[in-house]
Amino acid sequence: MTSYKREIRAGLRDIAPVAVAAVPIGLLFGALAAAKGLSPVEVALMSGLVFAGGAQFAATEAWLHPAPIAALTFATLLINARHVLMGASLSPKLKMSRSQQLLAMFFLTDESWALSERRALERPITGAYWAVMAVILWSNWTISSTLGAVLGSFMGDPARIGADFAFTALFIGLVAGFGRSRVTLVTVGVSAAVAALVHYFVGAPWHVASGALAGIAAAYLAAPKEVRE
């Protein structure tokens, strides 16, 4: 077996469970976006071009008509800022030319990053390995969310079956994944309080940016000054 084939096979093996788990999340995203008034075409474009689940869920939840472009873009920037650190850490481990890297990074996700960091402990990340994961995750996410939008438009009023609460439940689940350290708890408490107050007194979509910035400032202040590792 050539090394090229071995790399493809390793990519398939690593990404398969992630792709399976992402299908219901994609369907859910499409259905909720449809409930917010986005058409299947718009959902397909967003999933294909943005290709960042967390930012897409956040933007869709804060969606208004007409779309508040500045607020949505700022929220997207905040939620995707972690990509800078992920890309910086991954960059020396990618066995690719700079132009290949620029193409490869379009497909950067939390999942492909985590899998690649683990693999990079033993060997460099090849274009073949990365491309398999990228193509599968991208088609998977785009197709499942578009399908969700088509099915979701037949669902009717989402509040009737509690589907309007699915965003909230999903985000609570995602936040729980960041653990219960003191800094995280302070961040969550401050963000929640500021966002709720701004939403009540100022209105959407400004609660996202103000709550997020308040939580980030709180984390800065709550963290110890020196690194303790």
Scanning residues 134 to 193, which ones bind another protein (CB under 8 A)?
Answer: 161-163, 165-176, 178, 180, 183-184, 187-188, 191-193
Residue list 10-49, contact with another protein (CB under 8 A): 24-25, 28, 38-39, 41-42, 45-46, 49
CB 196 within 8 A of CB 207: yes
Question: How far apart are CB 4 and another protein at their closest, in Å?
Answer: 24
Asked whether position 8 contacts another protein by CB under 8 A, the answer is: no
| Closer residue to another protein (CB): 1 or 84 | 84
Cα–Cα distance measured from residue 125 to residue 128, given in angstroms and rounded to the nearest whole number:
8
From the list 116-124, 126-134, 139-147, 207-215, the region that binds another protein by CB under 8 A is: 207-215
One character per residue 80-99, x = contact with another protein (rule: CB under 8 A)? xxxxxxxxxxxxx-----x-
DSSP assignment, residue 124? Answer: P
Out of 16, 114, 135, 196, name the contact with another protein by CB under 8 A: 196
At 92, the amino acid letter reads P
Q: How many degrees, rounded to 5, is the angle at CA 8 between CA 3 and CA 12?
A: 145
Residue 86 and residue 84: Cα distance in Å, rounded?
5
> For residue 164, how far is the Cα from the chain centroid?
19
Provide the CA 167 distance to its chain's centre, in angstroms: 13
Q: Does 125 bind another protein (CB under 8 A)?
A: no
Residue 62: both structure tokens together: 């804060």
- Minimum separation from the CB atom of position 15 to another protein (A): 18
Options 4, 5, 6, 220; binder of another protein; rule CB under 8 A: 220
Determine how many CB atoms are found less than 10 A away from the CB of residue 121: 7
CA distance 215 to 200: 18
- When asked if residue 4 is in the footprint of another protein (CB under 8 A), the reply is no
Q: Nearest approach, Cβ of 35 to another protein (angstroms)?
A: 13
